[in-house]
Chains A and B, each alone.
Chain A
Amino acid sequence: MGGDQNVVQGTLSLMILKTLETMGPQHGYGIARRIEQVGGSRMTLNYGTVYPMLLKLEQEGAISADWGVSENNRRARFYRLTAAGRRRIARESKQWSDAAALMAKFLAPKEGG
């Protein structure tokens, strides 16, 4: 991951989980494409970096996977969220919101300034 904007380390897992929540079961390529589309020009993604994170999430039990057939009739491994993954999204989303709200307070223009 790189480009003009460095994405804070540790965000890729939440991006993947959120993508699966939004789009339903997806293969690795679909997930990577979706993340890139949402990030737009503010982020570039080496697709290869997605797979170690998918494996990690699978080992942690946040997602599960099975081989299936894609819309192009290609064999692909489809990932889906588990209950633990949904709980993790809720927890990490809240942490991000809290952190962003805190930073917003610091970055806001000074009162009376």
Chain B
Amino acid sequence: MRALRVLLSRLMQSVGLGRHRGDLDAELESHIALHTDDNMRSGMSPEDARRAALLAFGSAQATREVLHEQNGAPFVGIVSSTVRQAFRSLVRHPGFSVVRSRSTSGSSMAWDGCSILRTCRAAPSRNPPRVEPSPACAEAGQGVRPAAVMGGESFTRAVTPPWSVRRGRCRNRALAGAPGADRWTCGSSFDQAADRVAQVMCAAVG
């Protein structure tokens, strides 16, 4: 029950109904000001009083980061940005249905890690489009297969698991086995690389 309440509170915050960042920062500033006043009353100079207040507080930056992290619902941001990306793809690549690409090999997390779901404008189709794995993909024991086709309807479902975004190291490794992804290195952004994969897949299917 308590966890549910926290989740609700964080969700409310993420849609602008909770405490905003400025409010949290203002509270920390207010704390420093109150402590500085107390220190000055005990005979410190204003500079010393503020310095002592900051010291007693500890790392204000770290506290701020913890509060911001605790206050928001980061997954909402990730999902909303992925949905935006999917809509952009929808406009750019009309002509075929929903294709979800993922690993067919249980041994590799590459495709599951990125789980790109690209949505293109729906074209009535009873037969799911087939995308052949690239040689590199096949060599790695991975394949690419469409998982969902929604004939005749625009269908958007975008999932980018947080772990693929949060990883500090080469994020595009998740796309390494994808067709067309070979010319994309770690230097390009995840979205750029994902776009490229979507383009190649659209071309292959269309």
Contact = CB atoms under 8 A, between A and B. Distances in A.
Interface residues of B, number: 27
A55 B71 contact: yes
Nearest to A75: B30
Interface in B1-41: 2, 5-6, 9-10, 19, 24, 26-28, 30-31, 33-35, 37
A74 B6 CA distance: 30
B59 A29 contact: no
A72 B70 contact: no
A47 B58 contact: yes
A29 B67 contact: no
Contact of B27 (A28, A46, A56, A72): A28
A52 interface: yes
Binding site secondary structure of chain B = helix
B60 A74 contact: no
Given A47-B56, A48-B62, A55 B67 contact: yes
A81 B129 CA distance: 59
Given A74-B37, A77-B30, A59 B58 contact: no
A47 to B, nearest CB: 5
A96 to B, nearest CB: 18
Interface residues of A, number: 23
Contact of B37 (A49, A72, A77): A72
B75 interface: no
Nearest to B10: A59
A70 interface: yes
B34 A29 contact: yes
A59 to B, nearest CB: 4
Contact of B60 (A28, A48, A59, A75): A48
Greatest chain A CB density within 10 A among B31, B56, B58, B62 is at B31
Given A27-B31, A48-B62, A70-B34, 11 more contacts: A27-B30, A29-B35, A30-B34, A59-B5, A59-B6, A60-B5, A61-B5, A72-B37, A75-B26, A76-B27, A76-B31
- 9 closest A-B pairs by beta carbon, nearest first, are A46-B58, A48-B63, A48-B58, A59-B9, A29-B34, A59-B6, A29-B31, A47-B57, A48-B57
16 contacts: A27-B30, A28-B27, A29-B34, A46-B56, A47-B31, A48-B57, A48-B59, A48-B60, A49-B63, A51-B63, A55-B19, A55-B67, A56-B70, A72-B34, A74-B33, A75-B26
